[in-house]
Structure formats: structure tokens, C-alpha cells
Structure 1
Amino acid sequence: MNESVVIRRAVTRYSDGEVLSGEDDVVTEYPLTIMLNGEEFATLVCSPDHVEDLSIGFLASEGLLTDYRSLTDLSYDDRTGHVYAEVEDVDEWLKESGSKRYFTSCCGKSRQGFVFYNDARTAKPLQSHTVGLTYEDCISMMSAMQQASGLFKVTGGVHNAALFEQDGTLLLSRSDIGRHNALDKIYGHILRSELLMDGKALAFSGRVSSEVLLKAAKMGCEVLLSKSAATDLAIQLAEDLGITIAGFIRNGSLNVYTHPERITKGDNNF
């Protein structure tokens, strides 16, 4: 584990009527500034690991990187916390609309107008139907995602995301203090590795909001699994975009909110 992601802090702990002094592992918050074509574009407050993937996923989610091949250069200066990205054919309206934004670990300022202008251009309804899961598959994937996050086990202070093959194979796992950041780290890895999303499911520890759903849509995700709830707008968007949402996956139960045909009780044949 990257030592800069976790720090030891003195704490006073109360347990079973006793007050004790000790130390605890605490997750760090790190400001990462993305320089786009030589200009400051955004600062993300994040967990300082997989920052290149985070930067790529963020730019793709925001519509500034519509084709990975247009990313001509990417470098990270860990001394200053700056990522330098050179991207061809950037939409100048999107660039100016998002200039010098600051996103906290709680998602920061509202991006509603900016996001939905971009999403109208980049989020397309799915035409594929390559994923078939059972209810038990969903429960097992959620458990595997949580088990794979060493950072969560140590600090309890991060959101988790993971990508699975439909047979349950865990392909990658990412954690971050920001729930959007965890997904962008997954997205960036998908783009850099040129992974195809056919036959894959995305698991997530946070609430499925409209922004989370749209990030999944841009990845080409057919099935989004969550430990938490889904919002009404996310459900509407998932219906329109052809995405299956399964939420409240905990204690051996779950809710399927949209396109339930991808999740059944028994064996599936796709």
C-alpha cells in the first residue's frame, strides 16, 4: 500500500466503559491538480494512488477526452501534485465551462448543467446484452469487492469500486475518499488497457446517483451493482440507457431496479 495514502494519528478511544489512548490509521486527503494543455483545469481532492488512471477517467467522464487516442502525453509530478495532460481536439466550450474547478472528496460544487450538456453527447443507450448473472453472483461480487479493499479494511474511510467478469473473476479494484474518484480510477484503467466491457459487471460501494449512473454508461457498463440505494433520476436514466442497477446488496439480499432480465435465480444462457 502506498504509505502516503494512510497516516497514523493519535486518538482517544472509548470502548466498553473504558477510555484509552492510542493510535489509528487515517486515510489522507490529497489535492491533485490536472493541467490540461498547459492550463489549470481542475483540482480533485483524492486518495493519492492510481492518479494517472484517475486523471484519465475524470477527463473522459467530463467529455474532454472523447477518444483515448487523442491523449498525446500524460505525466505526473508527485512533488507538486500536478498531472499534465495533452489532449487533441478538446471541446473548448467544455474546457472553459469547467475551468479551474475544485472538487472535494464529497464531490464538490454542483456540475448539473455542465454534466448534462456533456452527457447528451457521450452517454448512448446500450445495444449489447452480454451479461447474465444470478442473484448469488451479485452478492458474491459485492463481498469480493469489499474484501479486496485493503485501504477500507485499514481505515474504513474510502469508497470502493471493482470490475468483474461475469464468472466472478475480479479484474481490478480501486478505492478513494471520493466515490466519483473510485469510479474514475476504474474508467481510466479501462481506457489505458483497452478493456472491452462485454461480459463484465461493475460493483460500487456508494449510492447510485445520476452522475454515477452516467459514468457507468460512458464505460459501456451493462450491470451496475451497489451496496447502497439508487436515486429516482438514476433509475430513469438506467431505464433509458439499457443498464441494469442492483442496489442494497447486503446481508444476502438485494433490489433490482432496472432491466431485471440480466439477473435471474438460476443459470443464465447468454
Structure 2
Amino acid sequence: MESMEKAMSVRRTLDKVTENGWIHTEDMVASEWPLTINVNGLEAATLVCSPSHVRELVIGFLASEGIIRSAEDCLDITFNESQGYAYVTVKGDVKAALERGQRRFIGSCCGKSRQFYLQNDAYTARTVYTNTCITPAQCFALMEELKNRSDVFNETGGVHNAAYCHPDRLICIRSDIGRHNALDKLYGFLLENRLQTKLGVLAFSGRISSEIILKAAKMGIGIVLSKAAPTDLALELADELNITAIGFIRNGSMNIYTHKERVAGPYANGL
């Protein structure tokens, strides 16, 4: 099987408690699915993910881990849906790259369930060099479009959404129960479509964590937008990796935390 897609959400019955009493009803919940990635006969990781755009997820994950550099490095990808396996054949010897990260279980809740990643990311994160600028109006417009096109979140409230954009338009949106998975799907999309990222902007629904900044650096994207807050480590990394981090984009205001020189326009207040 060369590709695999399953429903991103399922209908479940439930009992809802309200001030007027109990109601027996139905609701949609996000799907959660374990995927084990086997590379050249070796197990690399088990991802707990949403079962959509799985091929992009595999390619983006392997690139993020430094196992491949381009989509062409993947010679073959096959899936066993019943067992939840992706079998990947890639160019070269992957043993050293796999040993750097060791075999991991990467949970959907992100954070510490994904074993601390900074040492391994040092091999693949890089300083971003881009002259791309964005206006506040464009930031608001991109975040509004991300919200309006987040169908699975609007249906279930149970996924993260990430979009690859240019300042004037949203190009690709991906959703997943794991924020790192949503970004890896975007990375896989960029690699498979051989897109240059020097004009790129990353719009994201969740908080700007250190992992989000590292993913942006690996993709070569110099501007990160979010409706939520950043962490201190994320901002330290954004400063170092030359990434503009903008958070709390909501209700007509936003916070520019790092590299404000990329923000321009009629109401940038001279920044």
C-alpha cells in the first residue's frame, strides 16, 4: 500500500450534563492512531498521530530527524494499515542517525512525552536567512484564514493546525493531534513539492514552544505566527536562529518578540 488515509474524526455517543439535566447525544471526536516507522529494516519511532497526509508525515519526520535531506532520498514507502507500520527505504546508511535519536515513542500530547530533542536537533536546525517582510494586516489575515479553514478543529476541538504561507496568502494547511506532527506534515509537503521557503511564513494555532521554532528553522522559515503565547526557550532560540516570533495575534493586536525588522507597514509604529 503506497498511501493511507483514514477518517480524522469519528462520531461517538455521550451523556452531556447541563444546568437543565442530562442529555444523551452524539459528538465528533478526533482520531488518534499509532504509526511505527521502519527505516531500512530498523525501527525509528512510533508516532501517535492523526491518520491523514501520512506520507507527508513520514517524509517530514525523517527530514526533521536528519535521516533524509530531500524527498528523493526516500526510495520507497509502503504502509501496512492493519499493523500501523510504515516501511521506508532510504539512500545510505541510517544507523548513525537513528542512534543519535534512539528509538522513541512520540506521544500526541507533545512536550516531555517526546524525549528531549534539543541535542538531536542540533544536527539539523540552522540559522534562517531571509529578507521576507510582513505587515500587521497580513498577520491578522493569515491567522483569520487559518482559523476559518481549520475544519477538523472546528468539528472536534481536538487538533493542532499549521499552515505554510507567503505573506499575502495561505498555501497549505495541515492538522494533527500532535503539534509536531502537523509541522512534519507541512515539512513533507514542502519537500515533495520542492518549494523554496525563503518567502515562507508559518502560521500555527498553538503556543510557540522551542520545538515550533526548531521545526521552522529546519524548514528554513523565518517568520512564525501564532494566536497563543511563546515560551522563554522558544524566544531564546528564535533570537539565535534569526526567526521573527509573533504571538497573541488576536482582536486586532499582536506581540512581536524577536527580529522586529521583518515587520513593516502602515501601522507598524516605525518598527
Aligned to 2:85: 82
Q: Report the alpha carbon displacement of residue 133 of structure 1 after superposing the two structures with TM.
A: 1.2
Stretches of structure 1 that go unaligned for 5 or more consecutive residues are none
Q: Per-residue displacement from partner, 1:100-123 (whole Å, max 9, x unpaired)?
A: 3111101253432xx333332222
Q: Report the alpha carbon displacement of residue 50 of structure 1 after superposing the two structures with TM.
A: 0.4
Aligned to 2:190: 190
Question: Equivalents in 1 of 2:243, 2:230: separation in Å?
Answer: 13
Aligned to 2:10: 7
Is the CA contact (8 Å cut-off) linking 1:57 and 1:184 kept in structure 2?
A: yes
Q: Secondary structure at the match of 1:207?
A: coil
Deviates more, 1:4-13 or 1:177-186: 4-13
Aligned to 1:117: 119
Structure 2 counterpart of 1:126, which letter? Answer: V
What is the TM-score with the length of structure 2 in the denominator?
Answer: 0.91
Q: Report the alpha carbon displacement of residue 91 of structure 1 after superposing the two structures with TM.
A: 4.7
Aligned pairs (5 A) from 1:1-270: 4-107=7-110, 109-112=113-116, 115-129=117-131, 131-167=132-168, 169-266=169-266
Is the CA contact (8 Å cut-off) linking 2:207 and 2:229 kept in structure 1?
A: yes
What is the root-mean-square deviation of aligned Cα atoms in Å? 1.9
Q: Report the alpha carbon displacement of residue 16 of structure 1 after superposing the two structures with TM.
A: 4.7
How many matched pairs?
Answer: 263
Structure 1 counterpart of 2:125, which letter? Answer: A
Question: Equivalents in 1 of 2:228, 2:130: separation in Å?
Answer: 26
Is the CA contact (8 Å cut-off) linking 2:129 and 2:222 kept in structure 1?
A: no
Q: Per-residue displacement from partner, 1:136-185 (whole Å, max 9, x unpaired)?
A: 21111111111111101110110000111211x22111111111111111
Q: Report the alpha carbon displacement of residue 14 of structure 1 after superposing the two structures with TM.
A: 2.9
Question: Equivalents in 1 of 2:57, 2:87: separation in Å?
Answer: 13
Question: Equivalents in 2 of 1:24, 1:172: separation in Å?
Answer: 27
Q: Report the alpha carbon displacement of residue 249 of structure 1 after superposing the two structures with TM.
A: 1.2
Stretches of structure 2 that go unaligned for 5 or more consecutive residues are none
